[in-house]
Amino acid sequence: MTSGGAARLRHASGADPRRVCFVTGKLAETSLRRTLETMAPSFAYDVVVMKITVAALMTTPWIARFLHVPEGAELVLLPGLCEGDTGVVRNAVGVPVEKGPKDLRSLPEFFGHAAIARDYGGFDIEIVAEINNAPRLSLDAIVREADYFVASGADIIDVGCTPGLPFPLLADVVRGFRSAGIRVSIDSFDAAEIRTAVDAGAELVLSVNGTNVGVLADIADSGSGARVVAVPDPGGELSSLDPTLEELARHGIPYLIDPVIEPIGMGFAKSIARYAEVRRRFPDAELMMGIGNITELTAADSTGINALLVAICEEIGIRTVLTTEVAPWARGCVREIDIARRLMRYAIAERTLPKRIDDRLLTVKDPVVLSYTEAELRELQSKITDSNFRIFADREAITVLSSEHFVRGTDIQAIFDELDVDEPAHAFYLGKELMKARLAVNLGKTYRQEGQLSWGYLTPPDDPVRDHIHITQHRRRRDAGTQPPTAAPRADTPVGSGGD
């Protein structure tokens, strides 16, 4: 499930719709009806075929003029690729209107996620995002990094100090963040830096152990109410936490315990066990895990690593995580953790597997590969009367078809050669689409002509305005006889949404 969509599929009364009107065009009617028959939804439905070949070419003002909604429909679902505001149609027909998924074959998943979406999205883990080596950065760079982290979902901005490097801007940075409504933590063992940050408004101190426990008196005297993260002494066992925790209790300072997660190869599994042991010994204590120790020091895609570590935190009851985004492969970690904390909270609270709930962490491999069989494509070709090219991809090959062509293979140069295209703009268009289709075949992804491949939360938005400009210009030139018909854009395929 991506954000939006199925979460809104409800009647104005708050109940699920009992009858849905699916709007489509002539080319996609057969595919839509087949999908709905296979889906066997719990609600009744009607399929309304508009007087247009390609549903994605419809706009909502046009639909509002010509759509007649069958009696009893409680929801109208438009193709996801049509342009315009659904409110225009809603005002015309008097029935709630939504856009469906971009690919009609995603309808079962789209509706299946509706119930989940109503209760999905909560979280109980806070994200602390560290600005690493802040003293080495300009004030503008620090502000930009903080803004980026907050926009990505961070709850607290951690100002990471550099041992031995003076940081004269520290107080100004903390006060500036606080005045902007940003929660702040200070990452330092230096007592002077801790005092400066707490006096300026930092609410969390990372970290305190036996080496700097003397700073606790100053924190207590400040009356700030700042929390402190207690960690074991360098090279010490868990028992080294006890004196620090006693001092925290004596000063009445709220604290979190971080047993410290070790990098893979340096005691990773053993350190995970330490968190479980601390939870057993201190069942009511707040815990923190610095998961950046793993993502930053493991050359692997961070999406899966963050998902797994957040799941561990959720199960153990670790409610604060610290991360940063220094390594190139770790860029995006804050946003990934924000997604993961919602996914894992839902999965554990509902005692369900963390799959088919939120697919945004699947950035390289798709959750399902949607494709048509060769028989279905042959059937589609039999209904096409123009020579525009439609491009499809499945797990094995790429297919390009029109009223005159049916080319199937894996070598995109060989496919291109069979299409007899020499006009530069259309050659560029076909090259772009064929390369994207080959990526889809190689990586096991769903291909959608002129639509973006799915990269999970990294997927860039489609550009329907530009696509429709391409359609209009192409057809005007073709009708004027200035060039041969060649590539048809995405909208000429039957794979748009809600029934293209």
Instruction: Quickly count helices (H) and strands (E) in the chain.
Output: 18, 15
Residue 97 confidence (pLDDT):
94
| pLDDT tens profile 52-101 | 887 878 899 999 999 999 999 999 999 988 889 999 999 999 999 999 88
Arch. (CATH architecture) of 5-116: 3-Layer(aba) Sandwich (3.40)
Contact indicator for 122, 342 with CB cutoff of 8 Å: yes
| CATH 3.20.20.20 domain span(s) along the chain | 126-349
Residue 451 is encoded by which pair of tokens?
Answer: 């639509």
Residue 7 confidence (pLDDT):
39
Question: What band does 336 get if pLDDT is binned at 50, 70 and 90?
Answer: very high
Cα dihedral 281, 284, 286, 292, rounded to 10, equals 50
Average pLDDT (377-399) is 91
Query: 0.75 cut: is pTM over it?
Result: yes
Average pLDDT (417-436) is 93
Average pLDDT (132-160) is 97
Residue 468 is encoded by which pair of tokens?
Answer: 């429709």
Question: What band does 428 get if pLDDT is binned at 50, 70 and 90?
Answer: very high
Please state which of the ranges 121-125, 259-263, 356-360 shows the lowest mean pLDDT: 356-360
Residue 117 confidence (pLDDT):
61
| Residue 122 scores a pLDDT above 50 | yes
Residue 15 confidence (pLDDT):
60
| Residue 377 scores a pLDDT above 50 | yes
Residue 174 confidence (pLDDT):
97
| Residue 27 scores a pLDDT above 70 | yes
User: What's the CATH superfamily of 126-349?
Assistant: Dihydropteroate synthase-like (3.20.20.20)
What residues have CB less than 8 Å from 68, skipping those under 6 apart? 48
Average pLDDT (224-241) is 94
| CATH 3.40.50.11600 domain span(s) along the chain | 5-116
**Whole-angstrom distance, CA of residue 169 vs CA of residue 177:** 12
| pLDDT tens profile 262-282 | 999 999 999 999 999 999 999
Phi then psi dihedrals of residue 349, to 5 deg:
-65, -35
**Whole-angstrom distance, CA of residue 379 vs CA of residue 376:** 5
